Structure 1
Amino acid sequence: MKKIDELRQELSTKKEEVRGLLENDKVNEAEAKMPEVRTLETKIKLQSELDEAEEREVQNKLENRKDDSKMEKRTVDQDMEYRAIGKFLLGSEMTAEERASVNIGNSGAILPQGFVNQVQVLTDGFPSLKKYCHVIPTTTTSGKMPISSGSTSKKLAKLATDNEMVKEMITTKPVEYATEDYGKIIPVENSVLEDTTVDFFNSLIAPDFAECAVNSENEEIINIVEANSVEFEATDYKGIVKCLNTKVKPSLLKNTIILTNQSGYDYLDNLTDAKGRPLLNDSLAVEGGKTFKGREIVVLDDTELPAATDKKVFYIVNLYALIKFFDRKGYEIAVSKEAGFTYNQTFVRVIERFDTVKGDSRAAFKIEF
């Protein structure tokens, strides 16, 4: 019998004693027994709390064992996936289970989701513009997709009478996309490739690939921004304020950012108001980020976003509206032994596929002064 059951039985007996005394008009004796009743009730309450705490502790241990078991299984599965890819790349013999774990692409093996996740984590450490765009996953290399071309009248029409408005509301247009291959070739010692592990892919391949991927994606995005931004004349930072207030439609303001380079950011970061307080504010959404008039400032290297000599450049742009980023999911890996034969190396090639297409350019302005 559990301790709490013994206490409950003792309490029941003690209460019967008190009731018997009361029935015989022995009030004083009954009152003398009541502290014992209250003490037992307190003991039962405390014992119940202890029992519940112990049950939770046992349950947590069981759950942790389940999680550890799942994690161990995931680790084993992931190790096997990477080991199988290594064997596939080297042309080594594989077990039936290993062959089943390798997803073959057009010209190589598709890297597992764990690698994709690792690249995503690493790209967050770079100034990636992709996350501000409208990212559209695709499983095909090319195709068409309808997108809004930007209506001047964003409201509903009375379908029975507002015929002209209905025509104006049909503002979608098909855009064509064709994803292209963007790759990175990495020379690897043959002995390293033969001992392929999760760490090989996530620690050696992923960091270099992630940085190169961000730079390539940024370049394509910047090309569209530069080609479709309308010039807005200004002589100082007040022009940025004027552009935000008068040119960007309120419906597009929410996702609008201020895109600049290091020199432009340094200029803004040194601005102060009449009381000497900085005009830039800490971003509530981005750790370590800054905002100007409520708009997030995104900073690129001077070489990535060049300005005219002795000038500073700023793009007031809603990248989500402007850029349709067609992202063909998955990274493909292949090798070539011939190119590095004399160095006892194997050249590892990792490929991603994407395309960037112009969308709604109503919130894209360039300021240079």
Structure 2
Amino acid sequence: MSKELRALLQKLEQRKTEVRSFMAGDKLKEAEDMMAEVRSLQTQVKMLQELENEERDFVGGGGGAPLIGGSNGLETREDGELEREYTGIFLRGLRRQGVTADMRSIITEYERRAVMNEGGTNPAIPAGDSSILVPKDIQTQIHAVIRSLDDLTQYVNVVPVTALSGTRVMEKDQAMVPFGLIDEYSPIPEMDNPQFIPVEYKVKKRGGILPLTNELLADSDQNVLAYITDWIGRKSVVTRNSLVVNLLNGMTKVDLANFGAVKKVLNVSLDPAISLNASILTNQDGYDWMDQLVDTQGRPLLTDDITQPGRKLFKGRPIVVVANRYLPTNTGAGKAPMVIGNLKQLITLFSRKFYEIASTKEGGDAFRRDTTDLRTIIRDDIKTWDSGAAVYGMVDISDVV
């Protein structure tokens, strides 16, 4: 963002503040007069932003200024500077140190680039408020924490979305119709395929509060960010794991008498294309039962996954283990849950990729306990895509429970 654009954005924010002040004082004539200048400034900002975008695209395409990755796969050094400035403002807001008009203009520009076509968040935030998007580099750290944990969403189809609601049209693998034969210079025929299914989503807001002691906030930026990213990462995994498990628990359950019935699901119940990419998701009891099974030669039926030490395979299909508290065993019947199939084909998680954070020293219990409370919000929705892509079995493991 150029100095000219930054100054223009700062001036725009000042005029907006004056309009609100006039309206609060019931000075509607003055507010209307000032709005004329606001509209003019907004037009100038839009034109200057378009001009700078065109100049940046020209430089990126012409091989001029060095590029280091970012928007549309490219990021100028100017973008890197904006990222650093925004991160510094984010930390100030987190500590409730106040956000100046110039800083608000940086927030406006950063969020405009981040969300681009989804409308963004309200840039006119009060001084000291940090209800803004988490910076990209901090989101990267959060994702690193998530990858280090047992995140079930790695096994399902995750679709990043920017809109709060919408529809995706998907096709079931086992019912796909081949492309038709086209003669030279012949028109492409329409394909009659009723297996296309619209999947509607509407992301829901989920969030939580993390009390931060003022002693922690007085610590270094690195320690503060490490603490926050670890908390957000772990909470995100627990939240989304519960979404996946709750959807699985809504499936029709099938009794499987023994391990032969498990093999029959892979060999017969599932479409071969789905079975080839299937996994077996079970709880700790189910895994313990499978891990003790041997063939007639006394060799374990499960084999080690040489690509991921500690993980087991059955006929090349990975075994995914979930804690008993998420997928409990029916101890009375001696049956453990075992979801067999392609979870990416079964479940789609629509995730709005941005985290939003706000902090307060006065709201909630923060004032009484002398803390700064951090509020984190994520937005997502989860849907069943192809119900025929997996079988939810209850396997008899009474001999080991």
Give the whole-Å Cα distance in 2 for the aligned partners of 1:193 and 1:82: 15
Structure 2 partner of 1:109: 132
CA–CA separation in structure 1 for the residues paired with 2:144 and 2:360: 28
Give CA deviations for 1:87-107 in whole Å, capped at 9, x if unaligned.
Answer: 234151448368515647468
Q: State whether structure 2 residue 130 is matched by structure 1 residue 130.
A: no
Give 2:212's aligned residue: 188
Find the counterpart in structure 2 of residue 347 from structure 1.
Answer: 373
User: Is residue 2:247 matched to residue 1:241?
Assistant: no
| Alpha-carbon distance in structure 2 between the residues aligned to 1:225 and 1:237 | 21
Secondary structure at the aligned position of 1:208 is classed as helix
Alpha-carbon distance change, 183 to 157 in structure 1, aligned in 2, over 3 angstroms: same
For 1:289, the equivalent position in structure 2 comes to: 311
Q: Given the alignment of the two structures, is residue 362 of structure 1 paired with residue 393 of structure 2, yes or no?
A: no
The 1-side partners of 2:163 and 2:82 are apart by 28
- CA deviations over 1:230-249 (Å, ceiling 9, x no partner): 52x32222211111011111
What SS does the corresponding residue of 2:244 show, helix, strand or coil?
A: helix
Distance, in Å, in 2 between the alignment partners of 1:141 and 1:207 is: 26
Give the alignment of 1:39-78 within 5 angstroms. Answer: none
Q: CA RMSD in A?
A: 3.1
Matches within 5 A, 1:26-41: none
Cα shift at 1:353:
1.1
Instruction: Look at both structures and tell me which one has the larger radius of gyration over its CA atoms.
Output: 1
> Secondary structure of 2:325's partner?
coil
Asked if the contact 1:148–1:172 (Cα under 8 Å) also holds between the matched residues in 2, the reply is: yes
Q: Distance in 2 between the 1:87 and 1:116 partners?
A: 17
Aligned to 1:264: 286
On the 8 A contact 2:158/2:349 being kept in 1, the answer is: yes
Aligned-partner Cα distance in 2 for 1:213–1:75: 27
Q: Is the 8 A contact 1:314 1:367 kept in 2?
A: yes
Q: How far apart are 1:195 and its partner, in Å?
A: 5.3
Pick aligned residue for 2:250 from 212, 224, 227: 227
1:307 match: secondary structure: coil
1:304 aligns with 2:326: yes
CA shift digits 1:47-88 (9 cap, x unpaired) = xxxxxxxxxxxxxxxxxxxx9xxxxx9998766433311223
SS in 2 for 1:228: coil
- Give CA-to-partner distance per residue, 1:175-230, whole Å, 9 cap, x none: 210111121310012343355624312x1111122122111111111222222355
Letter matched to residue 160 of structure 2? P
Residue in structure 2 matched with residue 175 of structure 1 by the alignment: 199
- 1:342 aligns to what SS in structure 2? helix
- Classify the secondary structure of the residue corresponding to 1:324: strand
Q: Is the 8 A contact 1:86 1:196 kept in 2?
A: no
Q: 1:166 to 1:199 in 2, by over 3 A?
A: same
Question: Which blocks of at least 5 consecutive residues in structure 1 are unaligned?
Answer: 1-66, 68-72
Worse-matched range after superposition: 239-248 or 286-295: 286-295
Residue identity opposite 2:297 in structure 1? K
Inter-partner Cα distance in structure 2 for 1:242 and 1:171? 26
Partner secondary structure for residue 127 of structure 1:
coil
Q: Secondary structure of 1:286's match? A: coil
**Quick one: distance in 1 between partners of 2:150 and 2:345?**
19
> 1:82: which partner in 2?
87
Letter in 2 for 1:320: K
Question: Paired residue for 2:168?
Answer: 145
Q: How many residues align?
A: 294
One of 120, 123, 126 as aligned partner of 2:143? 120
C-alpha contact 2:355 2:376 (8 A) present in aligned 1 = yes
Structure 2 counterpart of 1:5: none
How far apart, CA to CA, are the structure 1 residues paired with 2:283 and 2:252?
16
Contact 2:251 2:392 in 1 (8 A): no
Residue type of the partner of 2:136?
Q
Report the counterpart of residue 197 of structure 1 in structure 2: 221
How far apart in 1 are the matches of 2:204 and 2:358? Answer: 17
Amino acid at match of 2:131: G
Contact 1:78 1:198 (C-alpha < 8 Å) held by counterparts: no
What are the superposed Cα offsets for residues 314-356 of structure 1, whole Å, 9 maximum, x if unpaired?
A: 1102111111111101111101222211221011011111111
1:184 touches 1:209 (CA, 8 Å); kept in 2? no
Alignment partners' CA distance in 2, 1:98 and 1:196? 24
How many Å separate the matches in 2 of 1:166 and 1:80? 52
Q: 1:337 to 1:350 in 2, by over 3 A?
A: same
Superimposed CA distance per residue, residues 141-191 of structure 1 (whole angstroms, 9 cap, x where no aligned partner): 11111112455364344689xxxx943x24212221011112131001234
Match of 1:207, as an amino acid? D
| Counterpart for residue 330 of structure 1 | 354
Between the two structures, name the one with larger relative contact order (CA 8 Å, sep ≥ 6): 1
